Amino acid sequence: MFSSNRGSVYDGLYRMNLDGRELTVLAQGDANFFAGPWSPGGQKIVFTGFGLTHSYVGVMNVDGSGQTDLTQQPDSDEGFPAWSPDGQRIAFTSRRDGNNEIYLMGADGADPTRLTNAPGDDFAPAWSPDGQQIAFVSDHNKEAGIYSLYLMSVDGANIQRLADIEGSVYSPSWSPEGGQIAFRMDRDGSSDIYVINADGSGLYNLTNNQGANWSPSWSPDALQIVFQTNRDGDWEIYMVDKDGSNPRNLTQNPADDQYPHLRP
């Protein structure tokens, strides 16, 4: 699953096999669809959609049918959805209170509950595989717009910064076995994919300044990571082994292909 503007001036949602075959358009129109992760059972897909005046968290079936706005906030921007491991809840980012905060809601959009409450920006939640913690990024206690990686309990308690990293962090992705977190970090003029242990140790650079590298997502077996990179001149989807070896281009298209997620 990924987003691409290969068929329009706007990003649509696409599905394909890892060998590039059976490319299917799931959603396309006069606005952008940004891909989110598959549900744990692989039967639903969440996404961030853009209307004329706002963004929203939506869900659809794997064939693109049943597109539904889950957040129903026409005066707010909502995005960055992430499924709970049991598929019953979705964490997401909302600006309905004036700044970016992390919320939880049911998989049907019911009972939205605010988890964070800080004057800065808290966004991009990612569930731990055991369902006990949520990783997210925040500029809490830092210069505005300089984001660190944080962990909290799923009820919003026990917020702690994972590591004092010199850079600005985005798009965390928890490994399926729970031992590591991949994320994008902007530092010294470069954007690279990094991996860190869930206890804050063992930080390493996966992509090493080969173009700009964004939006990491783990393979179900935790051995590989997909991400988007512009190292070939446009945004392409790459897959790499988790030690940084064996990078390969999955999309090979002159359009911009972004926000990859592998089906469970």
pLDDT of residue 253: 95
- Place 20 in a pLDDT band, splitting at 50, 70 and 90: confident
- Place 207 in a pLDDT band, splitting at 50, 70 and 90: very high
Q: 209 or 154: which carries more pLDDT confidence?
A: 154
CA distance readout (Å), 158 to 76, 85, 152: 27, 20, 5
Report how far residue 67's alpha carbon sits from residue 60's, in angstroms, rounded to the nearest whole number. 4
pLDDT of residue 149: 97
Q: What is the overall mean pLDDT for the chain?
A: 96
In a domain, 177, yes or no: yes
Neighbours of 69 (CB within 10 A): 15
Residue 252 buriedness (CB in 10 A; 0-12 / 13-18 / 19+): exposed
Task: Using the Cα atoms of residue 12, residue 16, residue 20 and residue 22 in order, give the sign of their dihedral.
Answer: negative
User: Residue 92's domain spans which residues?
Assistant: 2-258
Instruction: Say whether pLDDT at 179 is over 90.
Output: yes
Q: For residue 62, give the nearest of 48, 46, 45 by alpha carbon.
A: 45
pLDDT of residue 50: 92
- Per-residue pLDDT of 249-259, as tens digits, reads 999 999 999 99
Report how far residue 67's alpha carbon sits from residue 85's, in angstroms, rounded to the nearest whole number. 22
Do 200 and 194 contact (CB within 8 A), yes or no? Answer: no
CATH code, 237? 2.120.10.30
Q: 191 or 165: which carries more pLDDT confidence?
A: 191
Token pair for 158? 């026990």
pLDDT of residue 138: 96
pLDDT of residue 59: 98
Q: For residue 113, what are the contacts with CB-CB under 8 A and spacing of at least 6?
A: 103, 104, 105
In a domain, 125, yes or no: yes
- Per-residue pLDDT of 90-146, as tens digits, reads 999 999 999 999 999 999 999 999 999 988 899 999 999 999 999 999 998 788 889
Domain count for the chain, please give it: 1
Dihedral, 80, 83, 88, 92 alpha carbons, nearest 10: -20
pLDDT of residue 4: 98
pLDDT of residue 142: 82
Report how far residue 247's alpha carbon sits from residue 41's, in angstroms, rounded to the nearest whole number. 28
Report how far residue 27's alpha carbon sits from residue 34's, in angstroms, rounded to the nearest whole number. 10
Report how far residue 204's alpha carbon sits from residue 184's, in angstroms, rounded to the nearest whole number. 11
Token pair for 100? 């970016």
In a domain, 263, yes or no: no
- Per-residue pLDDT of 49-78, as tens digits, reads 997 889 999 999 999 999 999 999 999 999
In a domain, 264, yes or no: no
The residue-averaged pLDDT of 190-216 equals: 96
Q: For residue 71, give the nearest of 92, 52, 86 by alpha carbon.
A: 92
Residue 150 buriedness (CB in 10 A; 0-12 / 13-18 / 19+): buried
Instruction: Say whether pLDDT at 42 is over 90.
Output: yes
DSSP tally for the chain: helices H, then strands E: 0, 24
pLDDT of residue 145: 87
